[in-house]
Amino acid sequence: MKLAILGGSFDPPHLGHGQIIQYLLQEKGFDQVQVFPSYHHPFKKGLQSAFIHRIKMCHLAFDEVGEKVKVCEDEKSLSGYTVDLITHLKKIYPKFSLTFVLGSDLKKQIKTWKHPEKIKQLCDLLFLARAPAQDSPFMDISSSELRKKIKEGKKTDLWVATPVIKYIKQHKLYQEEA
């Protein structure tokens, strides 16, 4: 079985993330995509919303895709380092082909990560071009841009699923500086 691992802050999850999931399932032929919102992020300080909110928003954004997408909370019990997540997953799925999916902008940065060679031994890496790169088929939006738009009271319905927007409003997320 081919398993794609999609990690990130998902703060908030947006339609660009959904496009990536569809691409992985339809174009790349993965059997399942597992989504891992970061609990501890070694490189990003001060995430804007609590882990529980990001998990719930990911469910609202991605559960409709069906059984081939699973939002996972495993990160909660791990260090936040990719190598620890991949090692954990390799123990759970020893016979699966694991592929860690990340933006092409991280290609040079990966050598600064904890045990990059071990990551490459345990799984394949799939670098996807991020918009606005000319060869990127994905929406040109980022979660940080969306947080700013939400804080400024601007509409985000072109980039964020309606159930996620309702959740953000209900819980008053991204209204104040972290």
Would you state the pLDDT for residue 176? 67
**pTM of the complete model:** 0.90
Reading phi first (left if > 0) and then psi (alpha if -120 to 50, else beta), residue 172 is in: left
Residue (of 7, 11, 8, 5) closest to 160 by Cα position: 11
Q: What is the pLDDT of residue 45?
A: 60
Residue spans of alpha helices (H) in the chain? 15-22, 51-62, 82-92, 116-122, 143-151, 162-170
Could you give the domains of the chain?
Answer: 2-170 (3.40.50.620)
Residue 87 backbone phi and psi in degrees, to 5? -60, -45
Distances (CA, A) of 50 to 12, 37, 61, 170, 174: 11, 11, 17, 14, 11
For residue 106, the model assigns a pLDDT of 86
Ranges in the chain, pLDDT < 70: 41-47, 176-178
Any idea what the Cα angle at residue 75 is, between residues 74 and 76, rounded to 5°? Answer: 90
Question: What is residue 178's predicted lDDT score, i.e. its pLDDT?
Answer: 44
pLDDT confidence of residue 47: 55
Q: Note the pLDDT tens digit of each residue in 59-109.
A: 999 999 999 999 999 878 888 889 999 999 999 999 999 999 998 888 889
DSSP assignment of 142-153 equals -HHHHHHHHHTT
